[in-house]
Structure 1
Amino acid sequence: MNQDYIQPDNWSIIEEGFDADRVKSSESLFSIGNGAMGQRANFEEQYTGPTFQGSYIAGVYYPDKTRVGWWKNGYPEYFAKVLNAPNWIGINVVINGEQLDLNTCVAITNFRRELNMKEGWLSRTFTATLQNKLEVEVKTTRFLSLDLDEVGAINYQVTPLNGDATIKFQPYLDSGITNEDTNWDDQFWDTLKVTTENDKAFIEAKTMKTGFHTCTFMQASVYLENKKQEQNPEVYQQENAITFTYSLSVAKGQTASVVKFGGYTVDRNHDKTELVSAAKTALLTASEKGFAQLLEAQKQAWDAIWKMSDITIDGDVKAQQGIRFNIFQLNQTYLGKDSSLNIGPKGFTGEKYGGSTYWDTEAYCIPFYMATKDQNVARNLLKYRYNHLEKAIENAEKLGFKNGAALYPMVTMNGEECHNEWEITFEEIHRNGAIAFAIFNYYRYTGDYSYIPEMGLEVLIGIARFWQQRATFSTDKNQYVILGVTGPNEYENNINNNFYTNYLAKWCIDYALDNIEKVKEGHHDDYLRITGKTKITHEELHAWQKVADNMYFPYSEKHQVYLQQDGFLDKELITVADLPKVDRPINQKWSWDRILRSPYIKQADVLQGFYFFEDQFSTEELKRHFDFYEPFTVHESSLSPCVHSIQAAKLDQMDQAYTFYLRTSRLDLDDYNKEVEEGLHITSMAGTWMSIVEGYGGMRIKNDMLNFEPRIPKEWDAYSFKVNFRDQILKVNVSQSETTFELEGNTDLNIIVNNNPLTISPNNLVKA
């Protein structure tokens, strides 16, 4: 049974009624971020019930020493943790001497929480009866500014309903923070200095080991009936915390409020000696604008984002809410402004998985950012990998590879591998191919070849070298094999000849060879620079080609399908439909041994290859493979439903496509995997966008042109989306009766719709 307490709404995530059992799930679902920082939707006031406190700063991490029972040579020394940062949102509220705490109140009514995705703010309202019998109405509004991305703002209002009250607001900062997922209970933060200046407070701290310097700051002011109260706060200062206390006498029916600005300045953006000064500048700008003006700017900033990235769905509120939630969270996590940042799998919503970068970025996120921003954002994501090429070569060297072979990490913060599960770190090497595929995908979509001679070719050479060295020649098969791997289906470890991995290896080598020739012919200076740097020889290129031309792919003549790996047909092939519901999800119900021996597939594996390389297979082959593998797929990875939705739509199996779409779009909202309290699945949200644009819209790039094969689920009246294709913005609207196209720009755009050429002129509605 999935959770279903989120109210259906086109533009907001809404929770009505207070339930302590939902608090941690809602802290994830109502998370807010602005690309530079983010936080779970923790209550501002004290809460003594079960809670997962979490505030995070982009790019700030801690190398938590690896903890394993049996150390294996080659293990990464540490697991990079997204750091739970000092808390600036806290406001203790004391009313007639009693702490406001929803865990201890006598009654809580009219509880409502709203995350307004259209305008980018979080609010909470409720009526609480305290143990001292006073009844109060509380309303909070909070947002993290997109314009001033070091600043967040809170307006916290309290109205006594059945008597007069003395209300104390106690805004505070706290750097005595630990991570829930620490390996050794380390203290991650070293508090350096706590200072105040009038209504402002600052905590300077640095991270242990990595030495990131930060300043957490706040400024507070109090109001009675919207009139500012000139009041100097009482200050209570501790070693790693500071609290202001404001006291107001409030008559029954009057509203007292505190407005708090807070946030972080970081030495990633400022000199570490200037962090307090930068914080003062940020606070001055915020206070001069004021809460209302900052909120209005927030609405305008989100309006600009939605103008380009929105997907509309008519006739299906839950589907509409789902896709907007996914688009909203992606934009809260990464806006493409900083090429040293990336898209963490939990974003700013939790600590699980550590790291900031997985292969998810290249496989799922780049298409979303290419189409909804501009190509510079996607180029920044590719530049990020180029900047980490030396580290990728080091990672490969640690495993015994030579001559500039590059193995990109499974999980990283700085290019260094920091994932320490053996079967993932050393075996799930297919992630290397996703980097190369993203380079191909970027060029295919943008037409910008300049990235390849400037940066990309060096990456492709390092990856090709890895695959050539990782392959083994089998005298028995008289072909090259790749042994001891884990494919995308992580419910199989240490297997031989995973089809997807082998296919990707061959493709990467061929693609690198093609581009060496292309750069040689068209960018000769770059060719000389790169070949001089990499010391490529004809003999080496011949060795690559030999591996690519003679790669082994396991195949079943009986079923006419490529096999996921050697021996797949030896399994007891019981489909998921015949698996008792009580056994699901198997990753929470079964032993790992039982999972590894089962035929069950966590996510698209062979089908991931058919997704990437659709053009190299016929629709009939896709159908055969889809019909063979999907019945064994348990979809217990967040990355699974989107690929299957796209392929089901391609095969015109629209009921399946719709079921998978709902699952990917509402994976977190409905908590399909029973784990949302740990944080959201940010990177898979880009797959949700693809399931509409590539799935239902049928968008592909072929022969340098946009191609569409639009379809629509019977549950929808219409849907629309926009794509920025080579600086021309095309809006696609699909209804049950027709498909129309509108173009923003100055020149015509030639596209293909259902295999028919169509010319779209700017500012004209064109029916397909």
Structure 2
Amino acid sequence: MKEYLKHHEWQIIEEGLDPHYNKISESVFSIGNGHMGQRANFEEDYSGETLRGSYVAGVYYPDKTRVGWWKNGYPEYFAKVLNAPNWIGIRVTIDNQKLDLAKCKVEDFKRVLDMKVGLLSRSFAATLPDGKKVRVESKRFCSMAHGEIGAIRYAITPLNFSAKATLSIYVDADVVNKDSNYDEKFWEEVYKEAAEGKAIVTAQTKKTFFHVTTGMKYVILQDGKKASFDRVNVELREKYAGNVIQLDLHEGKELVIYKYAAILSSENHAKDKMVAACEQVLTEATTKGFDALLEAHSKVWAHKWDECDITIEGDIAAQQGIRFNIFQLTQTYTGDDERLNIGPKGFTGEKYGGSTYWDTEAYCLPFYLGTAEQNVARNLLVYRHKHLQRAIENAGKLGFNKGAALYPMVTMNGEECHNEWEITFEEIHRNGAIAFAIFDYIRYTGDEAYLAEFGLDVLIGISRFWSQRITWSSDKNKFVMLGVTGPNEYENNVNNNWYTNTIATWTLQYTIDSLEQVKKAQGERYTVITKANNFDEAETTRWKEIISKMHYPADEKRGVFLQQDGFLDKELLRVSDLKPEDRPINQKWSWDRILRSCFIKQADVLQGIFLFEERYDIETIRKNFDFYEPMTVHESSLSPCVHVILASRLGYKERAYEFYLRTSRLDLDDYNNDTEDGCHITSMAGTWMSVVKGFGGMTVKDGMLHFNPFTPDQWKSYSFRLEFRERVIKIKISKDSVETILESGSPLEICLHGKPVMLKR
């Protein structure tokens, strides 16, 4: 765990440049706007350790799957998010010495991410090899008010000299990905141009032929007036366009470069009109200017924070942690495009391919349900409905038929693109997460129309998959599920993972109930749906039989559900038994040793108890938590939040708080030594759930919000805001009281500590 970032309620602050931490900071200080994102790379050249990263939503490359032994059903490719053309570049050369912080003496380095307004700032003094000292201050943002605009203010002040300087202000599409095979590059040039004051490059991805047009214009001021140049040269080379400007720097006089960028994708523009559209966006940006663009951007952030802020009094580290998580979630997904989803790293890195996982439904959906307008969460579900046919095709590749649908573990376009067999073929509980998300959305919003419009199609396909995937065991005289991987990925190819069996039968029952509901309420629509899906009501006969005769492994002596058949054959150790040098085990142990151990990567049985908590009494929850948590190494970012919520239910307040700090500061403090690859965006939604569902005790039962809150000992108070069925409520909780406010909408009855409370304005 690293604790080099300063604690502040609204800012992330780094003081001093430690090259060993730079890639971590590049992730943490990333900025985005739902349509594009940018790691916190330096504008000037940097020859030290760095991971260059600029990303455009929806743009990916299908990298061919490489495995030693091909198996039928393997996906043809692994989709990866691409490092897109670099729009931030400003190269500074003074008397033939390049400004490079890896080769200069750096003093007073400070990097600040102001989350309140979405602004990244950086300042430093650098001494060049010949003793010249220069101060630089930069600010930049990706506009939340205009998703295709990025803007930079870059100020240079010579502190002890006057000299000639050369500035290269450019767009560069000749970029690489860290995870490319054999240093392959993924972009080809389509078009480039440059003239004084501007440059534009259009590049296309290989294979997928996405076009991205990146343009820039700039304004240079000296002493507040337009600077005079000795010379401006146009620079053009493969996939690169820019301006090279020669000018004089004067001691003590600030020179300011305003650089405006337009980043356009063929997902949103006709390819033959992209250059003209880019010109138009650039004109708009330069006409408005940096300050006006920043003001519009800040106003959007002010509105966003009004919707989703969580305040914590008395614990700055906890306050900073939750706001950082909310900030990254909000700038990653805005919900205005149903074609887009949420990658595990968002716009902060390229690990995991930038693709969609089950994390969206299991972790992210509740955050957007509670903090945004209803259509934002709805679009996440519509995204899956759009991919239903692909899910049916995915199942077909594995031998399933008759409309059975297996949603992918990893995808960009609905097609499975994960190439590890124990995940691709076995981690099928992801299907259940998508079904549960439909239920969770309708339960929270009351949008019953969604079921008939989109939801039932998906439920039928998923239930058909479960029906075919489950088999009858004559030995057990039960239905069983063989050869699966549960949420605990430190167990592969197991039989009867309790969580998978549980969510499968729950899905079958929910689909049966949904069929009856739509048939009763919208008979004509029911006929359309069943005809379109070739659905015969006789199919439910087997579903009902599976529900009534499913095998769920359990240990009656301990009173716990077993993670899978044979779990008790393992040597049951506790994480506290591990030596410090063995942690994390996923970096220190062989895979064989991990698979044979009892250690659990993330909540598995407890994941099911969290989702279906209403089924279990408090003693059942306690026994399972006390059995499994001590064996859990929490080496998945998705694990701590589930444990916060269950520990809160059980009254384990100190444990809940410990888990909260781990999930909220996972990236800020680099708990898992992997933040340099990008932040854990999807698990950040779990941090929000930790506060609202954990400490706040929020649940929805029979269409009513229930709260059973407590205040951690380390906090004086905390508050959060929820959007719920066209109302907005605010809850403020302290050690002595709970204040409930209806901020907008009609009167609403809630349940607080088991008692009904009517909220009125």
Three-state SS of the structure 2 residue aligned to 1:689 is helix
Of 209, 224, 227 in structure 1, the residue corresponding to residue 225 of structure 2 is 227
Determine the structure 2 residue equivalent to 1:110. 108
Tell me which residue corresponds to 1:313: 312
Return the match for 1:158 from 131, 156, 159.
156
Query: Secondary structure of 2:150's match?
Result: strand
Q: 193-202 or 311-320: which moved more?
A: 193-202
Is the contact between residue 195 and residue 243 of structure 2 (CA under 8 Å) also seen in structure 1? Answer: no
Paired letter, 1:546: E
SS of residue paired to 1:7: coil
Q: Give how far 1:545 is off.
A: 1.2
From 162, 165, 168, the counterpart of 1:167? 165
Match of 2:258 in 1: 259
Q: Distance in 1 between matches of 2:371 and 2:578?
A: 40
Q: Give the aligned length.
A: 760
- AA aligned to 1:174 is D
Of residues 355-364 and 639-648 in structure 1, the stretch that sits farther from structure 2 once superposed is 355-364
Q: Deviations over 1:433-455 (max 9, x none)?
A: 00000000000000001111011
Q: Match of 1:713?
A: 712
**How much does 1:176 deviate?**
0.9
2:407 is matched by which residue type in structure 1?
A: Y
CA distance in 2: counterparts of 1:516 and 1:746, whole angstroms: 32
Per-residue deviation, 1:615: 0.7
CA deviations 1:422-481 (Å, max 9, x no partner) are: 101110000000000000000000000111101100100000000010001000111100
The CA deviation at 1:96 is 2.3
Of 228-237 and 427-436, deviating more is 228-237
1:665 aligns with 2:664: yes
1:186 maps to which residue?
184
Which residue does the alignment assign to 2:676? 677
Residue matched to 1:586:
585
2:50 and 2:183 map into 1 onto residues whose CA distance is: 18
Residue 146 of structure 1 is matched in structure 2 by: 144
1:508-587 to structure 2, matched below 5 A, reads: 508-587=507-586
1:355 CA drift (Å): 4.1
| 1:78-117 equivalent positions in 2, closer than 5 A | 78-105=77-104, 107-117=105-115
* Corresponding residue to 1:123 among 107, 121, 124: 121
Q: Distance in 2 between matches of 1:152 and 1:226?
A: 22
Give TM-score, length-normalised by structure 2.
Answer: 0.99
Shift of 1:626: 0.4
1:372-427 deviations in Å (ceiling 9; x for gaps): 00111111000000000000000000000010000000000000000001101110
Residues 472 and 480, structure 2, Cα contact 8 Å, conserved in 1: yes
Map of 1:364 onto structure 2: 363
Offset at 1:638?
0.2
Aligned to 2:416: 417
Q: Distance in 2 between matches of 1:314 and 1:79?
A: 45
Matching residue's letter, 1:347: G
8 Å Cα contact 1:63/1:80 also seen in 2? yes
Shift of 1:351: 0.8
CA distance in 2 between counterparts of 1:247 and 1:317 reads 47
Pairwise CA distance, 1:230: 5.5
- Identity among equivalent positions (%) equals 56
Residues 65 and 183 of structure 1 are in contact (CA less than 8 Å); yes or no, is this contact kept in structure 2?
no
Structure 1 stretch 88-97 or stretch 706-715: which is displaced more? 88-97
Distance in structure 2 (CA, Å) of the matches to 1:166 and 1:707: 68
Report the Cα distance in structure 2 between the residues aligned to 1:255 and 1:447, rounded to whole angstroms.
58
Displacement after TM superposition at 1:513 (Å): 0.5
SS at match of 2:21: helix
Matched position secondary structure for 1:112: strand
Q: Deviations over 1:551-596 (max 9, x none)?
A: 1000101111110000100001010111111110000000000000
Residue 75 (structure 2) pairs with residue 76 (structure 1): yes
Distance in 2, matches of 1:230 and 1:383, equals 54
Structure 1 equivalent of residue 280 of structure 2: 281
Letter in 2 for 1:462: G
Alpha-carbon distance in structure 2 between the residues aligned to 1:618 and 1:373: 32
Aligned-residue offset at 1:505: 0.6
1: CA distance between counterparts of 2:525 and 2:618?
39
Work out whether residues 16 and 110 of structure 2, in 8 Å CA contact, stay in contact via their aligned partners in 1: yes
Residues 570 and 598, structure 2, Cα contact 8 Å, conserved in 1: yes
Q: Which amino acid aligns with 2:513?
A: D
**1:543 offset after TM fit, Å?**
1.2
Please report how far the alpha carbon of residue 298 of structure 1 lies from its aligned counterpart in structure 2 after TM superposition.
Answer: 1.5
Corresponding residue number in structure 2 for 1:373: 372
Deviations 1:35-70 (A, max 9, x none): 000011000000011111011000000000001111
Question: Retained in 2: the 8 A contact 1:489–1:604?
Answer: yes
The Cα shift of 1:746 comes to: 4.2
1:184 and 1:165 map into 2 onto residues whose CA distance is 43
C-alpha distance after superposition, 1:98-134 (max 9, x if no partner): 10000111x2111000000001010100011100110
In structure 2, the partner of 1:40 is 39
1:65 aligns with 2:64: yes
State the match for 1:348 in structure 2: 347
**Amino acid of the structure 1 residue aligned with 2:697:** G
- Structure 2 contact 726–745 (Cα < 8 Å) conserved: no
Q: Which amino acid aligns with 1:249?
A: D
Distance 1:318 1:248 in 2: 45
Q: Deviations over 1:274-300 (max 9, x none)?
A: 111111111111111100111111111
Asked whether the equivalents of residues 158 and 255 of structure 1 are also in contact (C-alpha less than 8 Å), the reply is yes
CA distance in 2, matches of 1:746, 1:691: 26
Distance 2:559 2:749 in 1: 38
What's the CA shift string for 1:141-196, capped at 9, x where partnerless? 01001111101001111101112122222111111112111235432111111112
- In the alignment, residue 149 of structure 1 is paired with which amino acid? G
Query: Partner of 1:500 in structure 2?
Result: 499
Residue ranges of structure 2 left out of the alignment (5+ in a row): none
Partner SS, residue 352 of structure 2: coil
Equivalent in the alignment of 2:460: 461
Structure 2: which amino acid aligns with 1:216? T
- Is the partner of 2:193 in helix, strand or coil? strand
SS in 2 for 1:114: strand
Name 1:4's counterpart in structure 2: 3
Match of 1:723 in 2: 722
2:291 alignment partner in structure 1: 292
Aligned amino acid, residue 601 of structure 2: K
Residue by residue over 1:513-555, the C-alpha shift from the partner in whole angstroms, topping out at 9 and shown as x without a partner, is 0111111000111100011111222331101111121110001
Aligned residue type for 1:404: G
Contact 2:262-2:281 at 8 Å conserved across structures: no
Q: What SS class does the counterpart of residue 171 from structure 1 fall into?
A: strand
The 2-side partners of 1:245 and 1:223 are apart by 16
| 8 Å contact from structure 2 (residues 322, 687) kept in 1 | yes
In structure 1, C-alpha distance between the alignment counterparts of 2:263 and 2:67, rounded to whole Å: 34
Structure 1: gaps (5+ residues): 763-768
**Cα gap change, 1:514 to 1:262, in 2 (>3 Å):** same
Alignment-mate amino acid for residue 739 of structure 1 = V
Q: Specify the SS of the correspondent of 1:296.
A: helix
User: CA–CA distance in 2 between the matches of 1:59 and 1:470?
Assistant: 32
Root-mean-square deviation (Å): 0.9
Asked if 1:56 is matched to 2:50, the reply is: no
Taking structure 1 as the reference length, the TM-score comes to: 0.98
Q: Distance in 2 between matches of 1:251 and 1:275?
A: 40
Contact 1:339 1:381 in 2 (8 A): yes
Contact between 1:248 and 1:256, CA under 8 Å: does it hold in 2? no
> Would you say the 8 A contact 2:228–2:247 is kept in 1?
no
Q: Which stretch of the first structure deviates more once superposed, 144-153 or 190-199? A: 190-199
Of the structure 1 ranges 738-747 and 704-713, higher mean CA displacement relative to structure 2 is found in: 738-747
What is the distance in 2 between the residues matched to 1:184 and 1:45?
A: 27
> Residues 302-341 of structure 1: matches in 2 within 5 Å?
302-341=301-340
Range with bigger deviation, 292-301 or 459-468: 292-301
Q: Which moved more, 1:238-247 or 1:297-306?
A: 238-247
Hey, what's the Cα distance between the residues in 1 that align with 2:681 and 2:652? 27
Question: Which residue identity lines up with residue 436 of structure 2 in the other structure?
Answer: F
